[in-house]
Chains A and B, each alone.
Chain A
Amino acid sequence: MSAATGYRPSATLPIWAEVKRQASRRRTQLALGFMALLPLIVLVAFEFGGSDDDDNGGGQFSSLVDLATSGGLNFALFSLFVSASFLLVVVVALFCGDTVASEASWGSLRYLLAVPVPRARLLGVKLVVALMYSLLALLTLAGVALLVGTLRYGWHPLGSTIAAEIPPGEGLLRLLGILGYLAVMLLIVAGLAFLLSVLTDAALGAVGGAVLLWIMSSILDQIEALGVVRDFLPTHYSEAWLGLLSTPMQTDDMVRGAISAVSYATIFWSIAFWRFTRKDITS
């Protein structure tokens, strides 16, 4: 007689229970809601924006702006482009950085551990659910953008100024590829935020810290004098998905980006698990 009847460590904190725990939270609903709202806001902005065509900055950005209204695929691409560098980072940091730290700050973490939910299982479930929500946010953004963009601008080939137009069917696949790569890159943020979430009881510290470090890495990446060091910055390959817009696709940078992202995420998560399974819970 070692455990209560019906208790199995592997059955504690079922994924679905954690999904519900997070789903009932306002910040989850707001974050996901905003992901759905953003494409609509962008759409409305385009509608009211008029067409006084001044040069908007140059580079591939302006080309994406110019092409954003050329079809649903381009609208979705534009929505992703403007969100990828900051908004998605914040959302992923929120889902992954808040998950453990908020339980700690509420004091409910110790009761979960006294259930007992094995620590590694608790982290594992929390991580999986946080990643699921992050992916859901990404898919919501892209899905809504694709939907409203297609309804408003039609189903047209994916255009870009650096390559010929891509037919809609293949364009959709490219868009999925871009989503996949963004998801992989955001693993770095997810890893960092999750690690900080384990290390601190302050949810804000975990989320803010992850975003802060991400921005710092982005800034360092702008400094070309750093040379080869830049290749090791977590944000260095964050825009490699643009290679999917050219024909044929340029995937070399994406492969290296994926290596970087997977390595960083693995390191961060390993430290998180190592630390959490050993530390005294003081919250």
Chain B
Amino acid sequence: MIVAGVVVAAVAPDRDSWTTSDQMIAVPEAPGGAGTIDLDSRLYLPRDRDGKVPAVLLAHGFGGTKNSVRTDAQSLAERGYAVLTWTARGFGRSGGQIHLDSPDYEIRDGQRLLDWLAARPEVRTDATGDPRVGVVGGSYGGALALLLAAQDRRVDAIVPLITWNDLGRSFLPQSADTDATGVFKKGWAGLFFGNGAAAPTSEGTAETPDGSGEQPELPQTLPPGINPACGRFAADVCAAYLSMATTGIPDEAALAVLRKSSPAPVLGNIKAPTLLIQGAVDTLFPLSEADANARGIAAGGTPVRVAWFTGGHDGGLGPQTDQDRTKFLTAQWLDHYVKGEGAAPADSFTYSRVAGFSALDRGLVTNGYSVDAYPGISGTGRSEISLNGPAQPIANPPNGNPGALSSLPGIGGQLSTVLAGVAGDIPGQHATFASEPVATSVDVAGAPTVRLRAASPTGEATLFVKLYDVDPAGVETLSAGLVAPVRLTGLPKDIAQAQPVTVTLPAIVRRIQAGNALRIVVSTSDQGFLTPAAPTTYTVAVEPTLSLPTMVGTPISNPQVIWRYVLAGLLAAILLGLVVVLLVRRRRAARAPTVEEFADTPLVVRGLRKEYADGFVAVEEISFTVERGQVVGLLGPNGAGKTTTLRVLMGLTMPTRGDALVFGNPLVPGAPILSRVGSLVEGPGFLPHLTGEQNLRAYWQATGRPWADARFDEALEIAGLGDSVHRRTKNYSHGMRQRLAIAQAMLGLPDLLVLDEPTDGLDPPQIAEMRRVLRRYATDGRAVLVSSHLLAEVEQTCTHAVVVNKGRIVASGLVDDIVGESPSVQIEVTDVAEAERVLAGMDVASVLPDGATGLIVDMNGTARSEVVASLVRAGVGVDRVVPRRRLEDAFLALVGENSRGSGDR
């Protein structure tokens, strides 16, 4: 039920702390034109706001819509921001075409949205038409944030995530220090172009908020009026892609498009404080893009802060710790620079490194680190590693097929897959240069560099340089699937004449464990890139030094560490609680009062009453005393309350009222005085897998008393089991168990013996023997309490009797008093009427008829012989004369003929 309650509480919707309103916002279709298009937008407002609130413009990633950033918008609204999300032109239900964050289109749209925000009465403004606003976005939205801040000074702060600095370099990366055009990143480019070519789609695909992994549904057919080659791309963007993807070499127009869509040329204009968050598992926009942005913006004197996380276009959102960190940094940045709350964020740079796998969700676990200032991608130190390997010939496959695999663009979020390494090289297409195992661990953080020499018969070569981490078992890992594409021109045909070029590998964050080796692999193909179509054989060599940038950050305290303190605190609290409980118990146990008056009386039961929780009263009120030397019989029909009374005497049951004192000590559960009571209540209880003897030994061991005190042999003799004592008790007959149980009760010769129906299951000779044993037992100052529902039992065994019925005592005293001969006699005669007449003439107290032929006569001291003689003299035949006994009288009179008891007691 508790679980159910928690489930309901967790699932039940809370009242949202924000409100939303959807609207289409009209913006000019083109600069200077008269036409407009509508942008599909949604404004989130905090529900509880006093006065005007600062705003955030939250942009989505490529291929997404305003819904892609829903959860981020909600959390920002919860923090007290008015959040405007919109679907960028060319996507979703917004009109227009995709211009790739062109300053003339998407960025102007952003400016119109700033106008719109400034006009909203809920939004705080710095001046008329100037809203207090931050711009946040990932990838496509991140570039928009940068470009908008560069173009419009009304932006107060920006947080661009996993975005580009130079779109040309991103799609045509060149890792060598030459001017040659880079290698076309066909995998990612094609994926993006395919996304943008999609016609308007149904909304509602909730996507990752940082822009990674957007996979809108592709429509089956294109609507009419759309160029099937370009989809919703603007003509110039489309043409740029088509030319690049065909030749791998961009023409001037394409370069112009890419340059226009890049923040790189305009970074100096950005005056809004910028928080750059970039992913380390990102083959599309690697860490170097954020580095370029950071340097460009910082050059203009604008505050810049950088953070890396383990995720990105390949790695997704990253582990929870990273998500928490980037969320915190974003909130801190916006709060200070937009809302005007909180201290200025520090300049420190934070990053994270994979520490292993989480056992529970199979995800990655990262540790966060921090250094005082952003060091760039060249680290704070260098570690030089020697590489070995001769110059090697490698073949360029025609049309890049078969090609090596390094990453899988577009399957964002599969972080572990990427890190586990999908990488594979094709034999004959790669050269390997390996190091010895490193002696000590190296914390790499930044872009490693290596110097490469290459020779090519055509004078040109397209190569991919990769850094593998090889563990002692030979498993090689390509960190984050990152490769350095290199296109070299003007190469000699002979490797001996080749000049070395410095290749800057993609920045990584990785610990090279001690004992692991490093391997530089130069290959000719990669499925993610466009390589020369013609088959060629290059010769490559690597200079022996691999330079690794290192960084030793201060570990960011893992919030999980708090649980260790919680655990320690919990254990301490449990220990403390245990000690307190033990002390309280000891104190309580110490004040058990002894009633001196009864200190020498084996048993005193005073006003005992037992009610059960369901209201049933098993014992109304019972009081009696057992003195030394007595064998007291507790007599009553089944259910009279005998057993309940005995249970109290065993400390099994707490009386509702009254008490039982053994030698003056009240009987409560666990009272030490119970050690002087031996008991058999409600049948034997033995461990079935032990023999009779083992059972008795086990019982005595449980008392913790010296073995010599057990009087073991005497007890065994009483049990009289012979050799059967060595058999397992589960094979015993009822009577054998009963005898063994009595022997157990007598172990140690306790001062008070309490036996419940002791002769149950015994045969007549054994019963007779048991009676003798019990009578003998009560000598030497010991006492016995026997319960029975059999009159004869009590009569023949006991010195004293207590008769109970329906929970009350109906008679008690010496058995001789109770059971002894009664003054009345039962006479069966041949002629009842005549006999009555004769008896009336004699000195008897009363004559009562008893059945058809019987009379009960209270003799009043008259001898029985005299009565019989008188009757015979009067001619009345006497069939038999039976002396009546008091107990029977009492029993029948009080218990009644009704053999039913007052309940099952």
Contact = CB atoms under 8 A, between A and B. Distances in A.
Interface of A: 1-9, 11-14, 17, 20-21, 24-26, 59-60, 106-120, 159, 162-165, 220, 225-229, 232, 236-237, 239-243, 245-250, 252-253, 255-256, 258-259, 262-263, 266, 277, 280-282
Contact of A4 (B6, B567, B669, B675): B675
- Residue in A1, A114, A255, A258 with the greatest tally of chain B CB atoms within 10 Å: A114
A26 B728 CA distance: 13
Contacts of B702: 12-13, 17, 112, 115, 117
Contact of B703 (A1, A7, A110): A7
B665 interface: yes
A14 B709 contact: no
B611 to A, nearest CB: 11
Contacts of A117: 670, 702
Given A165-B473, A280-B654, A2 B704 contact: no
Nearest to B8: A229
B341 to A, nearest CB: 29
A113 B650 contact: yes
A117 B702 CA distance: 7
Contact of B472 (A109, A165, A239, A245): A165
Contact of A255 (B564, B574, B689, B694): B564
- Residue in B7, B357, B362, B516 with the greatest tally of chain A CB atoms within 10 Å: B357
B10 A116 contact: no
8 contacts: A7-B703, A12-B702, A14-B701, A24-B690, A24-B694, A117-B670, A164-B473, A246-B355
Contacts of A11: 704-705
Nearest to A270: B577
Interface string B669-701: 111111111010111111111100010001101
A111 B744 contact: yes
B675 A3 contact: yes
Given A20-B698, A108-B687, A263-B570, A250 B357 contact: yes
Contact of A250 (B356, B473, B574, B672): B356
Contacts of B513: 164, 247
A142 to B, nearest CB: 19
Contacts of A163: 356-357
B359 interface: yes
Given A227-B10, A258-B567, A280-B652, A243 B676 contact: no
Contacts, number: 203
B356 A162 contact: yes
B822 interface: no
Given A114-B651, A239-B360, A9 B670 contact: yes
B571 interface: yes
Contact of A107 (B359, B683, B699): B683
Interface string B694-721: 1000110111111001000000000000
B607 to A, nearest CB: 19
- Residue in B651, B663, B688 with the greatest tally of chain A CB atoms within 10 Å: B651
Contact of B663 (A2, A5, A106, A236): A2
A165 B474 CA distance: 11
A150 to B, nearest CB: 20
A213 B654 CA distance: 33
A255 B567 contact: yes
A262 B671 contact: no
A21 B571 CA distance: 31
Contacts of B684: 107
B567 A240 contact: no
Given A3-B675, A248-B356, 15 more contacts: A4-B676, A7-B672, A11-B704, A11-B705, A24-B689, A107-B682, A107-B685, A113-B650, A115-B702, A164-B472, A229-B10, A240-B359, A252-B558, A266-B574, A281-B647
Closest 8 CB pairs of A and B: A107-B685, A246-B356, A11-B704, A242-B359, A3-B672, A252-B560, A116-B674, A7-B675
A26 B689 contact: yes
Contact of B356 (A7, A120, A247): A247
Contacts of B709: 4-6
Interface string B735-747: 0000000001000
Given A7-B672, A12-B704, A262 B571 contact: yes
Contact of A228 (B10, B355, B663): B10
Nearest to B7: A229
Contacts of A250: 355-359, 365
B670 A255 contact: no
Contacts of A25: 687, 689
Contacts of B269: none
